[in-house]
């Protein structure tokens, strides 16, 4: 097949399938099903923090989740550094410059002041991204983690449009990465190196968890504000202590971000503003952005509707050379 014809067929596929597949995905999405709307509207803290039946029945594997204690998170302003969770994630995944898989936002409080909110992928059980992907490139593992297979991703970015948390990133150009990225062995659980024309995001570091190690962000947090948990075992750890997950959530008035959408995220937050480390809501210390030792403009260099041109056919083989 000629290069020009191959390019045309890819674009023709995307153009003709977006409407049909998108409509089918939306119609079949659990976000708009009457049953789930009723369930979301009647949920209480008791139903949220009791072990769900479907999780209890999954005895063959893990059911990963994350808990973020905002009483401990102070944006690393008290130690005068960029957020170390973001920094550890970027260093561990060799992510392109500017791509923050766990991004720390400063959020205004209604009564004045602010708090810091680390925001990874929420790894939703009813994930809009997995419902809408036309080629099945983003999917759930048996452990409940949402991953992306970059060998299947066609760069249509429909998953990015569907994500209500805006936690996906697109490689518009060829990312500039450190030399050691050349030795990385790619897998969906360890998406290195970054590839032009594909979507990337937080993956909960399942490869580390399987070997008894905490995700980069959890182990990298100096305040131990992040906990990785297992809904099956009912425990969570920040690397210093192990807590009983459901009691921990209930005792600290935990909540999930945008829970009313019915996405059932697997990230819980404990309210706070960094007070356990002396931060007040009106703290004037400045938040420092993360740093990358490598360069790059590939992550956010928007070069057109598609990351490949008329004379540049996208193939998996071409991206890994």
> Alpha-carbon distance 160 to 128, whole Å?
10
Are the beta carbons of 49 and 250 closer than 8 angstroms?
yes
pLDDT, position 190: 87
Copy the structure tokens of residue 138. Answer: 């983003």
Q: Tell me, what's the pLDDT at 303?
A: 59
Domain CATH code at residue 169:
3.30.70.20
Alpha helices, H only, 43-157: 45-49, 53-57, 84-93, 128-132
Per-residue pLDDT of the chain (321 residues; tens, 9 = 90+): 444 444 444 444 444 444 443 433 433 333 333 333 333 333 333 334 444 444 444 445 899 999 999 999 999 999 999 999 999 999 999 999 999 999 999 999 999 999 999 999 999 999 999 999 999 999 999 999 999 999 999 999 999 999 999 999 999 888 888 888 888 888 899 888 888 899 999 999 999 998 999 999 999 999 999 999 999 999 999 999 999 999 999 999 999 999 999 999 999 999 999 999 999 999 999 999 999 988 766 577 665 555 554 444 444 444 444
- Inter-residue contact 40 to 260 (CB < 8 Å): yes
User: What are the tens digits of pLDDT across the range 220-278?
Assistant: 999 999 999 999 999 999 999 999 999 999 999 999 999 999 999 999 999 999 999 99
Task: Kindly state the tokens that stand for 256.
Answer: 């999930």
In this structure, the chain runs to a length of 321
Number of helices (H) and strands (E) in the chain: give both, helices first.
Answer: 11, 11
User: Cα(first)–Cα(last) distance of the chain, in Å?
Assistant: 21
Joined together, the tokens standing for residue 15 give 């153009």
Residue 142 domain boundaries: 3-319
- Number of domains making up the chain: 1
Token code pair at residue 120: 């990874």
């Amino acid at each position: 097949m000629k290069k020009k014809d191959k390019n045309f067929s890819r674009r023709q596929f995307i153009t003709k399938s977006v409407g049909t597949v998108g409509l089918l995905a939306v119609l079949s999405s659990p976000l708009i099903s009457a049953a789930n709307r009723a369930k979301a509207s009647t949920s209480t803290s008791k139903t949220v923090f009791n072990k769900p039946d479907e999780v209890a029945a999954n005895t063959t594997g893990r059911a990963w989740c994350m808990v973020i204690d905002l009483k401990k998170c102070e944006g690393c302003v008290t130690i005068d550094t960029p957020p170390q969770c973001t920094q550890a994630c970027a260093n561990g995944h060799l992510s392109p410059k500017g791509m923050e898989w766990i991004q720390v936002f400063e959020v205004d409080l209604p009564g004045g002041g602010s708090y810091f909110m680390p925001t990874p992928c929420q790894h939703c059980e009813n994930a809009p991204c997995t419902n809408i992907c036309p080629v099945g490139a983003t999917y759930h593992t048996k452990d409940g983690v949402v991953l992306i297979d970059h060998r299947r991703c066609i760069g249509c970015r429909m998953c990015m449009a569907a994500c209500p948390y805006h936690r996906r990133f697109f490689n518009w150009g060829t990312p500039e990465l450190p030399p050691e990225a050349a030795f990385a062995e790619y897998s969906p659980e360890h998406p290195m190196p970054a590839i032009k024309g594909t979507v990337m995001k937080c993956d909960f570091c399942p490869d580390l968890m399987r070997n008894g190690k905490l995700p980069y962000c959890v182990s990298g947090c100096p305040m131990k504000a992040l906990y990785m948990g297992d809904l099956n075992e009912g425990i969570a750890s920040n690397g210093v202590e192990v807590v009983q997950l459901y009691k921990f959530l209930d005792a600290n008035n935990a909540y999930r971000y945008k829970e009313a959408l019915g996405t059932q995220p697997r990230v819980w937050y404990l309210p706070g503003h960094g007070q356990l480390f002396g931060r007040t809501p009106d703290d004037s210390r400045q938040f420092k952005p993360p740093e990358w030792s490598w360069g790059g403009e590939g992550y956010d260099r928007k070069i057109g509707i598609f990351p490949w041109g008329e004379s540049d056919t996208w193939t998996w083989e071409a991206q890994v050379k």
